[in-house]
Chains A and B, each alone.
Chain A
């Protein structure tokens, strides 16, 4: 990608001067030269010098092949630069788009997603904002601002790059394509109804000539994953995660089509892609109404499930439900991880996920056959046990009740959207655990159920412990587990590298490096609580470590 872009940039500016007279003659050559910031085929490469997609590569492992930073030298990491995006907002934007009036008051930017790095340029997103900046020093190249109609401005998880286009979602449900070099808008299309109160945060994922797009919703609307043509924004297919037609076999797990088609299951975190089968595997959100299951008796497929679909058509291949009939708002939307592993001496193609409900699962990624379920937090008390198929059996008494149910984990779950990581050299799946309790009160006893996330009140009554767990994917048991001293809650994602390092936050305002093999603490830097997952890349032959704390981006470098 690198050499092509430099050529293309200088060539493009030369062309611009001649464009008026030579446009027609030069057009085919110009397009060819500009096409290659990032070819879709490059996304198939393992994570290394650049970071071209949400998870860096399609496996979801967040396992970098870079080895310059090691357990022996990690203490020499130096701060190269830090940037407050709030300052960048105050300085104004260079490009603007959007369908809104500009009156809606949006919150200050918080970085809760992945940053892309291609050809030494980084692309940083927050709701309604995209910045292109020099990865060496943070110099801004362009800043695109989207004038919103409104919508839940909770986060933006990042952008995608397809050829010379940068594609991202807006809270008011547009998919926007920009010229990756200039920030000029190519097109925008509406991806979900704003009237139906969808809001969009997901990082789109490019797979070949598809860009996969998810959305969110809290008002009992059906969840779906869509595929758009990355060149034009034309819809290719739409996969609903809950039944919206009477012929859907999953309707057997709902009392009625009305309940099912208002049953949620939003798709708001990118999944993973297996090029050998052409399957896209992703997690789905909670059923709705979230806390009152009374009017949606049944397992509520395909909410809180791992789902595999064919990327070419959007057809369902297999599913595995990680939380049947959830009544706690515990999405299973977390990014799963592809593992080429070994089960009982046999090589297997697997996918693992650590769900918000406190259970870890390993499943055959070709067939969906269940292999492992284990509880990975220390206090989850909502399940009666496991079903024969490996799904936890919910205890109805641990749903919201009028006198209060003492429930663990808390509403946010044992983990949440924060990306886990997997080190294939060690066979370890890294995830955080937040082990706490709340008392969950039912405030709406209406037999029709409540709506959205209404009908309950909860009191977060105690934080037991917060830990980093290195799970053996074959057994679901911890190989090691580090309880963070004095920490109540960790909201950071994870990164691991071929030097067997793990980078994350500790919930005590420290960025921490640990030895991935045994959990030994190696280095820390007290910059504040990490709000995304640490990332790494190479520039000028040096390995960088980049991480966000709220609105501030920190880039460390190894000299």
Chain B
């Protein structure tokens, strides 16, 4: 069926959506192909991706782009109103096709075709009208739907779609200024260490993660930076006290590197001489404590203030 005549089915679709029972159209018959074969022109990259893909929807060989484009056009005209621009369901009540049992089990239109041409009436769901599409049109729509499903991401996450920019800055900068004074100013200052913070970390989400965690988010931490260096002082039963940068610590052993660069380790259970005291100083401990005290509003307000520190 040429594209022009498809457009004519559009009013029919809306008419039928009301509550028309499915008509008695025959399903897809002899010309339905089996699972698409792997095309000879598959690139090594495409092959590698297919072999790494976890599930059948992503393991499919790439479809013929012309067929997918044709299917996208047919979908736009016949299916989008109910099933949505992104196939995840639409305002008219059509279900999400990307998690549909029938779509996921369809290979090349043999299941999708039956529903398209016979319609569907599942109690509790919007009635789907029968659509008079040819076999090649059905296969094109199926190819399009499968091509979208193939872009779904891991753990069931939908295809990326169009990025909707979201503004995470929702708090009150005025209240944030006050909170900063109460909670942060004993260690930090807006004109000192945090001057230009929002210029250094322009993304508000990264900025929020960074100030809450007490380190620049997704950046390696410099463990010897004095502002974040964890130090330890070990006291032994012979009276000796050894201080330095904390190495490893568990219930059994503590290790440190002294200012002179000497590595020392001590058994906490049966050391000789025995460890009688252990003082650990973590300059970021306050940030961890804050996690128990911060409400979401406080966090958002402080972020709203910090994003102004350009």
Contact = CB atoms under 8 A, between A and B. Distances in A.
Most buried by B among A221, A401, A486, A509: A486
Interface in B193-227: 205, 208-209, 212-213, 217
Contacts of A103: 51
Given A403-B300, A461-B291, A521-B269, A219 B99 contact: yes
B150 interface: no
B156 A219 contact: yes
The 3 tightest CB contacts between A and B, nearest first, are A452-B156, A454-B157, A486-B249
A488 to B, nearest CB: 11
Interface in A418-444: 437, 439, 441-444
Contacts of A462: 212-213, 287-288, 291
Given A103-B51, A451-B99, A402 B296 contact: no
B156 A453 contact: yes
Interface stretch (A203-211, A255-263, A540-548): A255-263
Q: Is the interface of B mostly helix, strand, loop or mixed?
A: loop
Interface in A198-236: 199, 217-221
Q: Which of the four size classes fits the interface of chain B? A: 35 or more
Interface in A65-114: 103-105
Interface string B159-181: 00000101111110000000000
B277 interface: no
Contacts of A221: 99, 101
Interface stretch (A188-196, A335-343, A492-500): A188-196
Contact of B205 (A257, A441, A486, A524): A441
A461 B171 CA distance: 20
B251 interface: yes
Interface of B: 51-57, 59, 84, 88-89, 95-96, 98-99, 101, 104-105, 123-125, 152-158, 164, 166-171, 205, 208-209, 212-213, 217, 248-252, 269, 287-288, 291-292, 294-296, 299-300, 303
A397 B298 CA distance: 14
Given A406-B296, A446-B88, A105 B105 contact: no
A317 interface: no
Given A150-B54, A454-B153, A459 B217 contact: yes
Interface string A136-160: 0000000000000111100000000
Given A445-B164, A508-B251, A246 B124 contact: yes
A218 B55 CA distance: 11
A186 interface: no
15 contacts: A150-B56, A220-B96, A258-B95, A401-B296, A403-B168, A403-B169, A406-B299, A445-B164, A452-B155, A454-B153, A454-B155, A461-B213, A487-B250, A508-B250, A510-B251
A453 B153 CA distance: 10
A406 B212 contact: yes
Given A459-B217, A462-B291, A524-B251, 12 more contacts: A195-B57, A196-B101, A197-B156, A246-B123, A258-B124, A402-B170, A450-B158, A452-B157, A484-B251, A486-B250, A506-B250, A521-B252
A408 B291 contact: yes
Contacts of A404: 168, 205, 208, 296, 299-300
Contacts of B299: 404, 406, 439
A150 B154 CA distance: 13
Contacts of A457: 205
B55 A197 contact: yes
B88 A448 contact: yes
Contacts of A256: 124
Nearest to B89: A448
Interface in A253-274: 256-258, 262
Interface of A: 103-105, 149-152, 193-197, 199, 217-221, 246, 256-258, 262, 288-289, 379, 397, 401-406, 408, 437, 439, 441-446, 448, 450-455, 457, 459, 461-462, 464, 484-487, 506, 508-510, 512, 521, 524
B284 to A, nearest CB: 9
Given A379-B292, A397-B296, A451-B98, A402 B168 contact: yes
Contacts of A194: 55-56
Contacts of B213: 459, 461-462
A195 B105 contact: yes
B263 to A, nearest CB: 17
Contacts of A199: 54
A380 B248 CA distance: 28
Given A195-B105, A402-B167, A464-B291, A484 B99 contact: no
A451 B88 contact: yes
Contacts of A461: 209, 212-213, 291
Q: Which of B155, B249, B294, B303 has the most CB of A within 10 A?
A: B155
The A interface is mostly helix, strand or loop, or mixed, namely loop
Nearest to B248: A486
B68 to A, nearest CB: 20
Contacts, number: 170
- Quick one: which of A257, A403, A459, A484 has the most chain B CB within 10 A? A403
A104 B251 CA distance: 43
Contacts of A151: 54-55
A264 B10 CA distance: 35
A251 to B, nearest CB: 10
A105 B49 CA distance: 11
B157 A197 contact: no
Nearest to A407: B296
Contacts of A524: 251-252
A451 B156 contact: yes
A383 to B, nearest CB: 15
A220 B99 contact: yes
Nearest to B48: A105
Contacts of A443: 166
B109 to A, nearest CB: 15
B157 A451 contact: yes
Nearest to B214: A462
B289 to A, nearest CB: 9
Nearest to B95: A258
B96 A448 contact: yes
A459 B295 CA distance: 16
B288 A464 contact: yes
B170 A258 contact: no
Contacts of B296: 397, 401, 403-406
B49 to A, nearest CB: 12
A405 B303 CA distance: 13
Contacts of A405: 296
Nearest to A101: B51
A448 B299 CA distance: 28
B85 to A, nearest CB: 11
A450 B158 CA distance: 7
A104 B59 CA distance: 10
Contacts of B57: 195, 197
Nearest to B204: A403
Contacts of B205: 404, 441, 457
A262 B95 CA distance: 11
B105 A196 contact: yes
Residue with the greatest number of chain A CB neighbours at <10 A, chosen from B53, B57, B269, B296: B296
B166 A258 contact: no
Contacts of B158: 444, 450-452, 454-455
A288 B155 CA distance: 11
Contacts of A402: 166-168, 170
Contacts of A487: 250
A446 B99 CA distance: 16
Contacts of A246: 123-124
Contacts of A149: 56
Given A150-B53, A459-B213, A195 B104 contact: yes
A484 B250 contact: yes
A439 B156 contact: no
